[in-house]
Chain A
């Protein structure tokens, strides 16, 4: 069953649906409207509209006029009275269309990304699936590829805990640098780009929390089953707002703005000296100093002063580490690097 889509369909999408719906109806022979709707992730009315369109479509024929025999036909009584679709005459198409090079490439690259997840690692079925997609494309799929990444060793254990529904225990170091032992009911794993997160009900905090998998260590699978958390909403976003959030005004180079999309407090941006002045919302200054230091030269904190000072101190402390070492040892030099 297809999940309901979020976006309205454009004309080319509707065409693809019509071209796929016809062979589906031929294959099924007799199908109820709600069943077809569930299969394609459409509403019953959308399906009925499509059936009416198909039933009056066909070929212009040799005379250039649409004659009955050149048109699709359906069992109108079954359709009008029982909401059941039966094609009794069809023209021109009976098979599904091939995939476009772009469509095949998008799915293949998606599968490559999935190959990083523990249950798919080194999976032969993924490879054969990609070969089938290539064979089903009307032209060689576009050269798009996603490298297999090394999944965190903890992932397989967490994935197992999610599927069997058992509690886990682990050490967790939060972004403030505070470590503690946590017991949690794992609910869902999210991978975002190269990062892995666990959404879990945390027994310590008595609420659903997002954990970065790479900040978890000494993970243990317990014998305790997870509780019922149906009353807790599992957030769809990784970044949750809270009343204690910190608003920070920054100047950012326009090309960097997309990297900060998760943190933007609102959609306002004003140009200041060739840069954009925007407001970021973060949980605390610890997250901010890491974010800004990781985009050196691209983001400058304007206010509040404490946030500016925290970033300056963080960078100064980093520099101080090098100065101390320099005073006490002679550095070794090796290596070359460039891309």
Chain B
């Protein structure tokens, strides 16, 4: 009984909440011009100082400090390391600081109530935990101006889901500029092939997430569909690369659009069906009498999947490759669902 009370008291003593320690660390590093030595931080900043052992043996505390630094940088706070001019390369002589000029949100970045309303809606878009958390943190930062958004947009709920497991590790690698490795199954190939790439941009086009990357083995740029990545995306931290040019993501979207416009399919759709109504809305040309529409598409395999779902409601007239792709899919579905003796 006594031991338990003592134990609990001991824990309470050293327990400064994590956010308290991080807050104290940020304040200390913002206030210093020249930077603080690690030993100064650990011995004086709240949250570390209580556990600091002046006679050495602060390995746990040092590891804690490393993790805290990473967490702080993840939030966009520019935590810098400055080498000692007298002792370059000496880790114990490194100084840490947060330059205030690079910390403060620039003066020109101010938002109107209307803009804050739109940003609030933009944050609502994400259903995926990490994108949603990132958006919410950004909104919290912008709330510091004390400006209330205009009335929320009513009658509209936007939702964008990310269902590809590869998305999060790729976004991570994109930020850190680490190469990644994954197995990729290209349509028409029997087995997935291992690729090692520098991820440059991740874009959503026609409802599909694409990765644009520099393929290290092929020594050239390639675009991958996230849904065709098989298994884990493995980060290769040793392989770093330079920041891709700004706006690369928009260039990739434009390329995918070009690709879409180069592919056209003529489809026969049955009147009064789902295919006629839904595919018809995307038609660029139509022959009402013949019941034929022309549509653009980006990826033949993806489009063939979509068309197969319509079963007998749509028939591909051309191109032949798409027609065969849809037939092959229907044949596979029929074969796996036909019972013995039935057909």
- Which residues of A come within 8 Å of B, CB atoms? 1-3, 5, 7, 10-24, 27-28, 39-40, 53-54, 57-60, 64-66, 91-93, 95-107, 109-111, 113-114, 117, 120, 125-126, 129, 132-133, 135-140, 142-147, 149-150, 152-153, 159, 162-163, 173, 175, 177, 179, 186-194, 214-215, 217, 255, 258-259, 261, 289-297, 300-301, 305, 308-309, 311-312, 314-322, 325, 331-339
Contact = CB atoms under 8 A, between A and B. Distances in A.
B182 interface: no
B135 A107 contact: yes
B146 A308 contact: no
Nearest to A105: B134
B131 interface: yes
A312 B312 CA distance: 12
Nearest to B71: A12
Interface in B102-161: 102-106, 108-109, 111, 114-115, 118-119, 121-126, 129, 131-146, 148-149, 152, 154-161
Given A53-B23, A114-B125, A337 B49 contact: no
B342 interface: yes
Given A12-B75, A315-B333, 5 more contacts: A13-B133, A15-B72, A59-B28, A149-B207, A314-B311
B69 interface: no
B141 A97 contact: yes
A144 B205 CA distance: 11
B174 interface: yes
A335 B322 contact: yes
B329 interface: yes
Given A311-B337, A339-B298, A192 B159 contact: yes
B259 interface: yes
B337 A312 contact: yes
Interface in B302-317: 305-306, 308-312, 315, 317
Contact of B109 (A21, A57, A136): A136
A261 B163 contact: yes
9 contacts: A1-B148, A5-B136, A15-B23, A16-B141, A107-B119, A142-B174, A144-B174, A159-B155, A318-B308
A92 B134 contact: no
B197 interface: no
Contacts of B225: 339
Given A179-B272, A296-B308, A308-B337, A145 B156 contact: no
Interface centre among A21, A27, A140, A146 (most CB of B within 10 A): A146
B339 A309 contact: yes
Interface centre among B104, B154, B159, B334 (most CB of A within 10 A): B334
Describe B's contact surface by its main secondary structure: helix
Interface centre among B143, B144, B301 (most CB of A within 10 A): B144
A18 B25 CA distance: 13
A333 to B, nearest CB: 4
B148 to A, nearest CB: 6
B26 A14 contact: no
B218 to A, nearest CB: 15
Given A143-B174, A190-B159, A339-B225, A129 B141 contact: no
B340 to A, nearest CB: 12
Interface string B313-327: 001011111110011
A98 B103 contact: yes
Contacts of B252: 145
Interface residues of B, number: 144
Contact of A336 (B26, B108, B321): B321
A36 to B, nearest CB: 9
Contact of A293 (B137, B160, B330): B330
User: A-B pairs with the 8 shortest C-beta distances?
Assistant: A100-B76, A335-B319, A294-B309, A110-B122, A145-B249, A143-B201, A60-B44, A296-B329
A96 B145 contact: yes
A308 B339 contact: yes
Contacts of A314: 311-312, 333
Nearest to B223: A339
A331 B320 contact: yes
B253 interface: yes
B23 A316 contact: no
A45 to B, nearest CB: 15
B20 A2 contact: no
B135 A21 contact: no
A290 B311 contact: yes
Contacts of A113: 122, 125, 158, 160, 204
Interface in B153-178: 154-161, 163-165, 171, 174-175
Contacts of B337: 292, 300-301, 308-309, 311-312, 315
Contacts of B20: 53, 57
Given A12-B71, A140-B243, A312-B343, A104 B144 contact: no
A244 B145 CA distance: 52
A110 B161 CA distance: 11
Contacts of B122: 107, 110-111, 113-114
Nearest to B300: A337
Interface in B202-235: 202-207, 223, 225, 230
Contact of B148 (A39, A143, A321): A39
B61 interface: no
